[in-house]
Structure 1
Amino acid sequence: MAVLEAILSPEWSSRYHSFDAGWGLGEEMAAMRDGSGDEYSIVFSAAGAYVRGFAHEAVMSPYGDDGSWPGVLDSVPEVFRHCVEEPAFCDEDGMPVVTACLWREVGDGRWRVGEIDYPDGVSDPDGAAGLFGRLVDPSPEAFRRFAEDYYEVPVDLDAVRHVYALRPLTQAVVTAPNADLAAKDLADALAAARYPFVAS
């Protein structure tokens, strides 16, 4: 998704999804920012994966009670505690900006969350369904629907399938969704994602 969006939106600041293979020492990060206040960060490391989501209108917002919802962060294991306190995931006062959190340590058979007393009668109280919908349906067709709606341009499905198959990027694949873009202009985004490119 990050590579496709680099093609559709060469300006990093206006992209919805991004990926940084050099996020931290031994860490990679996938991120989403929707431009309206919702975001997520997924940190991959030798320890496993840590996921933090923030839906700004969710009932479980930390700004409703000046702190994260009880249970959301309490059980995060020690190997991921630095992610909880990561300044990029906190506000200017050091409060974690989070409504949903899950993690999976290496060797875990499933994803884990804290022991949370979710509010009654509220649909999607932590915003997770809305935040992670594209991750639950990781198909090229789902991405094309999203991208055509978000960027308001036609998106070539074959180009999306090419990137989803992790095949090396070519100028022809770049040109299919963005005729005005030269593949060489994607050098920084491709390096950040460690995505292969074949010069033509």
Structure 2
Amino acid sequence: MRLDKSVTVHDITRQLPEIAELRDHCRSLAMLEAILSPDWESRYHSFAARWSESEEMASMRNGSGAEYSIVFSSAGAYIRGFDHESAMSPYAEDGPWPGVLDEVPEVFRGYVEEPAFTDEDGMPVVTACLWREAKDDAWRAGTIDFPEVSSGDPDGSGYLFQLLTDRSAEAFQQFAEDYYEVPVDLAAIRHILALGPLTDEVVAAVNPHVALAELAEDITEIGYPRG
């Protein structure tokens, strides 16, 4: 049973945009963080435009046990989230919580056991999972009996996906200024969230200590539009 105030993956399915818009948003988040943090290890959000020959992957990790991965392919998009403090942690339940992975479509089943998304024993590291096939008109998640929690979200979805459901420049500005402890120009954030062309001025408005020329490798890795 869930509390009315809590957020679950079922709420997230109703708040995410279509696949193409989500992909663009994930690329822009990764680009903003590449500018803010030259050190890749310190970034929350990343994007690999060439995760494989046919797949792209967006990812988030907070360095304290919360993370997500989003695989974009011709089949659609598959999202795996993990909150280590969740009551639905597979480590608390000796395996994934019932229903989280049971209804994953066959086209995405390979990701359930993908080594990048499992631990060294092959157990899926997941508390929340959702997907959208290319032919679907909505995001989907499994049929789940969520545990009752006294605070927070039973599967961690509200925290994990907060910058995917609130895609405003203001939301990213608050996150960035809290995490990096530096002021970040709101207009520059809006520009990059819209995948606007990178210029020396835009980059300097986000981080005056980074030059556009230094971002060439990140731009290629992320697949951010050039010019």
Q: TM-score range by the shorter chain?
A: over 0.9
Tell me the equivalent position of 2:173. Answer: 144
Shift of 1:147: 0.3
2:60 paired residue among 29, 32, 36? 32
Number of residue pairs matched?
198
Match for residue 72 of structure 1?
100
Deviation string for 1:25-67 (max 9, x for gaps)? 3111111001111000011111111000000100000001221
| Cα deviations by residue, 1:101-143 (Å, 9 ceiling, x for unpaired) | 0001112121111111111345411001111111111011110
Per-residue deviation, 1:9? 0.2
Aligned-residue Cα RMSD (Å) equals 1.1
State the AA in 1 paired with 2:178.
D
Q: Quote the residue 1:88 is aligned against.
A: 116
Stretches of 4+ aligned residues off by more than 3 angstroms: none
1:41 is aligned to 2:69: yes
Answer yes or no: is 1:15 the counterpart of 2:47.
no
Instruction: Give the letter aligned to residue 43 of structure 2.
Output: R
* Kept in 2: contact 1:170–1:197 (CA 8 A): no
Q: Which amino acid in 2 is paired with 1:61? A: S
> Identity of paired residues, percent?
65
- Structure 2 unmatched ranges of 5 or more: 1-28
Following the alignment from structure 2 to structure 1, what is the Cα–Cα distance between the partners of residues 206 and 149? 43
Name the CA distance, whole Å, in 1 between partners of 2:61 and 2:204: 25
Q: What is the rounded CA distance, in whole Å, between the counterparts of 1:48 and 1:9 in structure 2?
A: 30
> TM-score with structure 1 length normalisation?
0.95
Higher relative contact order (CA 8 A, sep 6+): 2
Distance in 2, matches of 1:97 and 1:25, equals 24
Query: What is the TM-score when the length of structure 2 is the normalising length?
Result: 0.84
Q: Deviations over 1:157-187 (max 9, x none)?
A: 1110110111111111111121121212111
> Does the aligned pair in 2 maintain the 1:72–1:100 contact within 8 Å?
yes
1:52 aligns with 2:77: no
Cα distance in 1 between the residues matched to 2:80 and 2:142: 12
SS at match of 1:63: helix
Match of residue 141 from structure 2? 113
Amino acid at match of 1:68: P
Alignment match, 1:180: 209
Between 45-54 and 114-123, the greater mean CA deviation after superposition: 114-123
The structure in which a higher percent of residues are helix is 2
3-state SS, counterpart of residue 82 of structure 1: helix
Distance 1:159 1:121 in 2: 39
